[in-house]
Amino acid sequence: MAGDAGDRPAEHSGGQRYRSPFAVVMWWLWALFALANLIDLAVQGRDRFSLETAIGLVLITGGVYAVALRPRITADDDGLTIANPLREHRIGWAAVTAVDATELVRVRCAWAAADEVIRERVIYAWAVHSSRRKQAATRMRAARRRSGGIFGEAGSGSRAGPGSGEGLGGASRWPAGSPGWRSGPSGAGQFPAGSPGWRSGTGTPAGDAPGAVAEMDAEHVATALTERAEQAHAETGTSGAVSPVSRWHWPSIAAIVVPALALILVVRL
């Protein structure tokens, strides 16, 4: 899971949008598939089954739109807008107390009610996902990096024999003869940076690199939003915290309910 780089400016002064690029790709693939089938049914379909199939495709398309294309997190100067499949939440920065990553990005809110009692609420964002297995793998890699990794860090007391490829400052280290291995300037085994077998001195395996990016996306989004909330708190404080505003997103609901009702009517007629 990742932030939508095309919609996300580099600076905090403007709006930032986070969404899953994989979900967007899934939406467009399904949309093209559904469109092609609907055209085929419109040209060749002349029976009841074709009508039921067409309405079923529209129903599924509405569901895929709500689940894949719609979810996003938008951060601007005033706060967060969390768009979930059927609901939308608006949260001012003053009310944001914490942002962390579970299976979904979780935003904790707190504000003072009219009776001066502190109210709390937790809102989950569907835009970025992280499974428990991926979270566990991320924690294991972090622990491995802290302990020096599989091959050990420079100066950590681990062995660095000939061909280990130990470079300056914990540079890439690999056993001689490994696939992609080459001799470095000092004769030590090295991989070219960025090659399939390359391993950074932080102890992160090259084979984990693509997965690490996807698995750290939820953490990245949570960290970025936490930093922005802290920046807003430093600038304006939290005294103006108000309750988050939530509302139903009726177009998404209609995209599912209307074809579902139509399909029920057609099947029962």
Question: Model confidence over 121-157: pLDDT tens digits?
Answer: 999 999 987 766 666 665 676 667 667 544 444 444 4
Considering the four listed CATH numbers 3.40.50.300, 2.70.98.60, 2.30.29.30, 1.10.10.10, the one that applies to the domain covering 5-131+215-268 is: 2.30.29.30
What does the pLDDT read at residue 240? 83
Residue 59 pLDDT exceeds 50: yes
The percent of residues above 70 in pLDDT, for the chain, comes to 64
Is the Cβ–Cβ distance between 125 and 73 less than 8 Å?
A: yes
What does the pLDDT read at residue 46? 85
Residue 229's Cβ-count burial label (10 Å; 0-12, 13-18, 19+) is buried
Residue 148 — φ and ψ, nearest 5°?
Answer: 105, 0
Spatial neighbors of 4 by CB under 8 A, at least 6 apart, are: 17, 18, 19, 21, 24, 72
What number is the average pLDDT over the span 197-207?
39
Of 234, 255, 268, nearest to 31 (Cα)? Answer: 255
Read off the pLDDT of residues 77-95 as tens digits, 9 standing for 90 and up.
Answer: 999 999 999 999 999 999 9
Q: Which residue has the higher pLDDT, 44 or 148?
A: 44
pTM for the whole structure: 0.65
Residue 4 — φ and ψ, nearest 5°?
Answer: -80, 95
Distance from C-alpha of 198 to C-alpha of 205, rounded to nearest angstrom: 8
Alpha helices (runs of H) in the chain, residue ranges in sequence order: 21-44, 48-64, 132-146, 209-215, 217-236, 250-268
DSSP category for residue 45: -
CA dist 225 to 14, 43, 68, 109, 115, Å?
13, 49, 22, 13, 29
For residue 9 the two structure tokens come to 């400016």
> Which residues lie across from 83 on neighbouring strands?
72, 88
Distance from C-alpha of 55 to C-alpha of 67, rounded to nearest angstrom: 19
Q: Which residue has the higher pLDDT, 125 or 216?
A: 125
Residue 20 pLDDT exceeds 50: yes
What number is the average pLDDT over the span 9-26?
75
For residue 167 the two structure tokens come to 């470079």
> Which residues lie across from 73 on neighbouring strands?
18, 82
For residue 65 the two structure tokens come to 């739109």
| Domain spans of the chain, in order of start | 5-131+215-268, 151-202
